[in-house]
Amino acid sequence: MTVKIKVENLTKIFGKNPKSVLPKLKMGMSKERILAETGHTVGINNVSFEVHEGEIFVIMGLSGSGKSTLIRCLNLLNRPTEGKIYIDGENIVEYDNKKLKEFRQTKAAMVFQHFGLFTHRTVLDNVVYGLEVKGIPSEERYSIARKTLASVGLEGWEDKYPNELSGGMQQRVGLARALANDPDILLMDEPFSALDPLIKREMQQELLDIQARLKKTIIFITHDINEAFRLGERVAIMKDGIIEQIGTPEEILAAPKNDYIKNFVRDIDRSKVLQAKNIMFKPSALVSVKDGLKIAIKEMEQAGISSIFVVDNDRRLEGLVTIDHCIKGLKENKKLRDLLIQDFHTTDPEVYIHELIPIATASKYPIAVVDEDKKLLGIIVRVSVLSSLV
């Protein structure tokens, strides 16, 4: 995977003479002691990570953990005290004002928690603003803005003012304004934290839908572990300006690095984090639709199972047969294809476990995980669904 953003040994200290504090920090002095002795505040401390192109990378932590300080370093709203930030291989910390302005206008856009909309401008004119600053001709910029508003579900709201919109709709305008410039990178600083829970969930899904279409590189800040695990392909958890652990939601749930991380993930709803692909297993036994009943019976006997999935030559799912039906069919001189059962459930690998719980509880057969071409990817049995919640 292509590395889009590479952060190396990044430190940000606030105060009159931050570089004078660096030696104390490197010797291991705590941020509390540094504040008490020097009056300087350590925002982030020797942070390093990489973000892949097209990835949603979530940075989460409690208030004061350094997450918002960190994201503001990534477009130099906060100037790092030390360290490097490579975007597409260029260290932006070395940019002069001209290159930095170009970077902010073309490559990275920011979406803020409190929307940041101009109350005296219409929705359309809010979205147009960045294109206007870039000098895009009027007809072109309004055309781009209208298309972008449509992409976030706000077609028909162009002439309204921000105070006529709900919180969720205002945040969509903020997102549209960022997307209108067609940036490679979206920096999102707790964009949904001020929204009601239902609207917040809608916006999370909206972001996932937009990302599926546009494949932007997104760094998303949140203090909500459930939001982090729902959105993030990988998640970095921060404490006191330090990244404690980076991993996929599944990796962090399975192997929390320390007690701090364990406490973070203790109360998380795993059914809304883990997906079908995380709990499925590759079937130890399958039969081809061209095989005979004796082969099917032998495969089930050797695997110790009472039903088995049947696939074609390209591993596309044809159906399922049971041991009882196969034994009866053998006596009646029937073919395997004559006995295929379709009364079982299939699922997409991206479906969350909480959606599978009622299916797994009621179904008498395993759930088949298939792709869009009906190719069998794996199997989920009831015990896999229930045990994953523990």
Q: Where are the chain's structural domains?
A: 3-107+183-268, 277-387
pTM value is: 0.79
Q: What is the pLDDT of residue 334?
A: 93
Q: What is the pLDDT of residue 126?
A: 92
Tally the residues of the chain.
390
Q: What is the pLDDT of residue 191?
A: 87
Q: What is the pLDDT of residue 278?
A: 86
Q: What is the pLDDT of residue 250?
A: 87
pLDDT tens for the chain, residues 1 to 390: 799 999 999 999 999 999 999 999 999 999 999 999 999 999 999 999 999 999 999 999 998 899 999 999 999 999 999 999 999 999 999 999 999 999 998 899 988 776 678 889 999 999 998 888 888 899 999 999 999 998 888 889 999 998 898 888 888 898 898 898 889 999 999 888 878 888 888 888 888 888 988 899 999 999 988 889 989 999 999 999 999 999 999 899 889 999 999 988 887 878 878 889 888 998 878 999 999 999 999 999 999 999 999 999 999 999 999 999 999 999 999 999 999 999 999 999 988 888 898 898 888 899 999 998 999 999 998 887 877 666
Backbone region of residue 146 per phi and psi (left: phi > 0; alpha: psi in -120 to 50; beta: other values): alpha
The dihedral through the CA atoms of 322, 323, 324, 328 has a sign that is positive
Q: What is the pLDDT of residue 311?
A: 94
Q: What is the pLDDT of residue 340?
A: 95
Fold observed for domain 3-107+183-268 = Rossmann fold (3.40.50)
Domain 277-387 CATH superfamily: CBS-domain (3.10.580.10)
